[in-house]
Amino acid sequence: MGGTINIYNATFNKNSALAIITDGWEDSSSFGGAIYNTGNITLTNIDFTENKVSGGHDGLAYGGAIYTNKSLNLTGIKFVNNSVSSSEGFPNGGAIYSENSLNITNSIFINNYVVKYDWRNYAVITNNSIYCSNNSYYYYAENNWWGTNTPDWNQTLYNVNIPNSWIYLKVTLSKDNINVAENTQIKTDFNWLTNGKNVTAYSNNILDGLNISYALTKNIVKTTPIINTIQNGTSTTIFTGTKNGITNITLKTDNIPTNEIMFLTVNALPTSTKITYITPNITPGSNMTIQASITDKDNKPITIGEVVIKINGKTLKDEYGQSIKIPVVNGTINYNHHIPYNYSTKQYNLTVKYLRNDKYTLSEQTINFTITKEPTSTKITYITPNTTHGSNMTIQASITDKNKQPITIGEAIIKINGKTLENEYRQSIKIPVNNGAITYTYLIPDNYSAKTYNITVKYIKNNKYTPSEQTINFTITKTQTKIQNEEICPIPPGTNLPIKANITDKNNNPITTGYVIFKINGKTLNDINGNNIKVNVTNGKIEYNYTIPKDYSTKQYNLTVKYMNSTQYQESQETINFTIQEIIPTITKIELIEPVTLESDLNIKANITDKNNNPIDTGYVIFKIDNNILKDTNNNTITANVTNGKIEYNYTIPDNYSATSYYLTVKYIGTNHYLESQDKTTFLVSKY
């Protein structure tokens, strides 16, 4: 295109000049992505955005927005994101390529660049905005904005006089430290010029319509508006704190970052935590309600966030070992904590801590509370009546709390006359409380006397409950006894009366204590000193031989055995009859003895009768040879029972006997009714 061009108030957006390549190695060139002209150009208030030039292999690529070889006069022009690229070629002038005089004023250059690809297809990018190929001409670029307050002229301009002044951006932050929900404002002001050293006012408002936005390293503010537009060279954006933290703020023009970076701190809002209620009279194993209010600096309820609770500095945790976090609802928390049974009764400190978050600071309050033991009441409800020693006594008691509700934990002990019941290892017997009650069966020892005792059931203190006890009296009564006398055969006067009896309790268990006395026909028997005859009971039995005086008549008497003098057993007695009768003489007669030889049997026969020659049918006899009592192989005396007035026994003569004559004696052993008697004869022992 040739000739003079004058353009006002226009936009060139996303135009391109591309090389047409038919051979991959062909050198091809392209120029002027938006305007390619060989005549003079004058432009006013024009926007060039994202125009580009692409050259071929080793080809030329000039002027991403404008290419000209004549004079170029520009006023109020905006060059944004224009580019030139080429593969191993010669790309130049990301925004402008000029071969003649150049005069640019009050314009904007933002992110215009040149890309050159080498043989490896690696890209080299430079911020080459203006390229002037002929240094024989004047190239002026005064009072423009170059996208930064400190342009790199070597990268930005080629063969162009370094400007004496350029537009300078002032960015001011009204407050660099705010609280959440508080505002600060950023003012961008392009109404300034600088020469690199000094800054002076400038008010041509050349950047009106430029979009201003901000990049944040941390999203902690709300931006109003999100994108602002320069009016009269300035814009104002409001930042409202939303989270606590620190962020870098980078100003962007038309979405391209500048070098203008600010720092903003947003502080969390102060809070106040106050514990408003905890359950009074807390005991181990009970629930404690904890209430607290969380307010801001204006004493208004906080509606977000969480709290944790600590007891003695230890944070409460859930079953998984995680800290329990309680959400704040309308400025309050309400939490029920179960106090473990193993908590001792003492003073603790309780901390409610509001956790720091994006909006609010942490706050906490600590107060003291005391875990006390709950009072209890113990009441004995049942004891087995009519208890005797050696029997089982059932003891029942109820244990309740201050509200008369059954206690379900703990143990009780029992004392009798102040002495705690113990097990076989001499350890205190501890009875578990089950649903507010205890039941225990105690075997009353045999050595307990029949009297009144006191029994105490004591609930033992633990972490949750205080001790309590009750004492009442109970009486151990004497055990019933019974006597069974053995039958007594008739005896003559002046002989021993054999007295035997069994003394047992009501359950037929032998009695091992106490003694008995005796009565005959109601008269207590005395010893020679005039004292009552007493016989101790041993293993449930007594035996005693009492000599009947010779002056007792032959008749029937009654004998009373009376058990007495025991602290444990009741007295008892039993009476039986016995008879005193005359003793009848007896006669023993040995029948004829035949001679015997050594190691043969000596046949012994005898008749035993009373004085009237009546056969005796009771008792036994023993034998003597030459006054030596005959004994068996076990050295026991040989006896023969009397049956129908007769005895018979065969005795083998030992081989050590001599062949001679011996005396044989047969002796009847008397009974209570018959006197002793004996007969003596001789017999001959021969060798053959």
DSSP label at residue 408: -
For 491-518, the pLDDT digits (tens) are: 877 888 899 999 998 889 999 889 999 9
Give the CATH H-level superfamily of domain 271-370.
Macroglobulin (MG2) domain (2.60.40.1930)
Ranges in the chain annotated CATH 2.60.40.10: 170-266
Sorting pLDDT into bands at 50, 70 and 90, what band is 26? Answer: very low
pLDDT at residue 630 greater than cutoff 90: yes
> Structurally, what CATH architecture does the domain formed by 170-266 represent?
Sandwich (2.60)
- Domain 586-686 listed as CATH 2.60.40.1930: yes
Q: Please answer whether residues 334 and 389 qualify as being in contact, where contact means their C-beta atoms are separated by less than 8 angstroms.
A: no
Which comes out higher in pLDDT, residue 125 or 616? 616
The label of the residue with tokens 């179960």 reads: 338
Give the CATH H-level superfamily of domain 377-474.
Macroglobulin (MG2) domain (2.60.40.1930)
Is 279 exposed, middle or buried (CB count within 10 Å of its CB: 0-12, 13-18, 19+)? middle
Ranges in the chain annotated CATH 2.60.40.1930: 271-370, 377-474, 481-579, 586-686
Mean pLDDT of 377-401: 93
Mean pLDDT of 19-28: 46
- Mean pLDDT value across the chain: 89
Q: Please answer whether residues 242 and 358 qualify as being in contact, where contact means their C-beta atoms are separated by less than 8 angstroms.
A: yes
**CA dist., res. 81 & res. 110, Å (int):** 7
For 522-559, the pLDDT digits (tens) are: 999 999 999 999 999 999 999 999 998 888 888 899 99
Q: Which CATH class is domain 481-579?
A: mainly beta
For 261-315, the pLDDT digits (tens) are: 899 999 999 999 999 999 998 888 889 999 999 999 999 999 999 999 999 999 9
**CA dist., res. 265 & res. 243, Å (int):** 10
Question: What are the two backbone dihedrals, phi and then psi, of residue 156, each rounded to the nearest 5 degrees?
Answer: -90, -40
Which comes out higher in pLDDT, residue 39 or 565? 39
Mean pLDDT of 243-265: 90
Among the residue ranges 23-37, 78-92, 109-123, 556-570, the one predicted with the least confidence is 23-37
Mean pLDDT of 402-413: 93
pLDDT at residue 80 greater than cutoff 90: yes
For 425-446, the pLDDT digits (tens) are: 999 999 999 999 999 999 999 8
**CA dist., res. 618 & res. 624, Å (int):** 20
pLDDT computed for residue 310 by the predictor? 97
Contacts of 365 (CB under 8 A, 6+ apart): 273, 274, 275, 292, 351, 352
pLDDT computed for residue 313 by the predictor? 96
